[in-house]
A = this chain, B = another copy of it.
Amino acid sequence: MNYAPENSESAAAAVSAIRQMIETGKLPADGRLPTERELAAELGCGRRTVRRVLDTLEAEGLIWRKQGKGTFAGQPPDPTGALAAEIAPDADPLVVMEARVCIEPALAELCALRATGEDVQRLRKLAQRASHPMDADTAELWDGALHRAIARIAGNRVMLTAFALLDEVRMGADWQEQRHRARTPETMALYETQHRKIVDAIERRDGAAAFDAMRAHLEALSDNLRTSIRTLDE
């Protein structure tokens, strides 16, 4: 290995050579770059230079590295995003809401078993912010953050991924307007009470009560959504 200091000229040449390699598509179909050793040989520079150059290109978002697999052109794949994109065309607001009713009560139950005191304080703050929003967008933002925090605190990676999938389908879809229509001062007051009940149950470490409170909340959301869709159809 070459430990001699390398000049920035060879680094600049290497950047341009690798950039060209990517842009002209002279890579295998999976986009994998040659190994550091191969690049060093090909470009006639040291491996340290190659590594520095790859760091730069990675920071630029031109390449990404996968532990134990190599370096690839383009952006790292986002498997949750890819899967969400695949199922999104089949999902409408009611399908997603039904899926939330399936998943989130169980997440609230696990959350009640695992939340630390600090977690409960954070949930409480999120619930408060969701209930004093400036506008519908902001309400949605804090509401989403509260539900996501509960899913995260539940502490099951597989379930968190399932939740993230659902959240991504929901957020990617163009249903904002329908959701906003479903918000009235009355429903907002109801959701505030329901959020408080969920956090209270989590604070008491009462899994069954957290499950029930979350389910009641999502069923209320679901009913209001259904009403607002019906109104829209008329």
Q: Give the dominant DSSP class at A's interface.
A: helix
Contact among B85, B102, B110, B158 for A169, CB-based, below 8 A? B158
Query: In whole angstroms, how far apart are the Cα atoms of A216 and B74 in the complex?
Result: 47
Segment with Cβ contacts to B, from A37-45, A52-60, A88-96: A88-96
Query: In whole angstroms, how far apart are the Cα atoms of A157 and B162 in the complex?
Result: 13
A165 to chain B, nearest CB (A): 6
Contacts of A190 in B (CB 8 A): none
Query: In whole angstroms, how far apart are the Cα atoms of A101 and B105 in the complex?
Result: 12
CB of A99 within 8 A of chain B?
A: yes
Q: Say whether, besides A25-B26, A79-B82, A83-B83, A157 and B102 are in contact (CB < 8 Å).
A: no
Instruction: Find out whether the CB atom of A156 lies under 8 angstroms from the CB atom of B102.
Output: yes
Q: Say whether, besides A102-B107, A103-B102, A106-B102, A74 and B29 are in contact (CB < 8 Å).
A: yes
Contacts of A25 in B (CB 8 A): 26-29
Query: In whole angstroms, how far apart are the Cα atoms of A99 and B103 in the complex?
Result: 10
Query: In whole angstroms, how far apart are the Cα atoms of A106 and B158 in the complex?
Result: 16
- Would you list which residues of chain A between 76 and 119 have a CB under 8 Å from chain B? 77, 79-80, 82-83, 85-87, 90-91, 95-96, 98-99, 101-103, 105-107, 109-110
Contact among B77, B105, B157 for A82, CB-based, below 8 A? B77
CB of A166 within 8 A of chain B?
A: yes
Contacts of A159 in B (CB 8 A): 98-99, 102-103
Instruction: Find out whether the CB atom of B95 lies under 8 angstroms from the CB atom of A158.
Output: yes
Number of interface residues of A (CB under 8 A): 42
Central interface residue in A26, A29, A82, A103, by most chain B CB within 10 Å: A29
A17 to chain B, nearest CB (A): 16
Contact among B30, B158, B166 for A31, CB-based, below 8 A? B30
Instruction: Find out whether the CB atom of B30 lies under 8 angstroms from the CB atom of A74.
Output: yes
CB of A178 within 8 A of chain B?
A: no
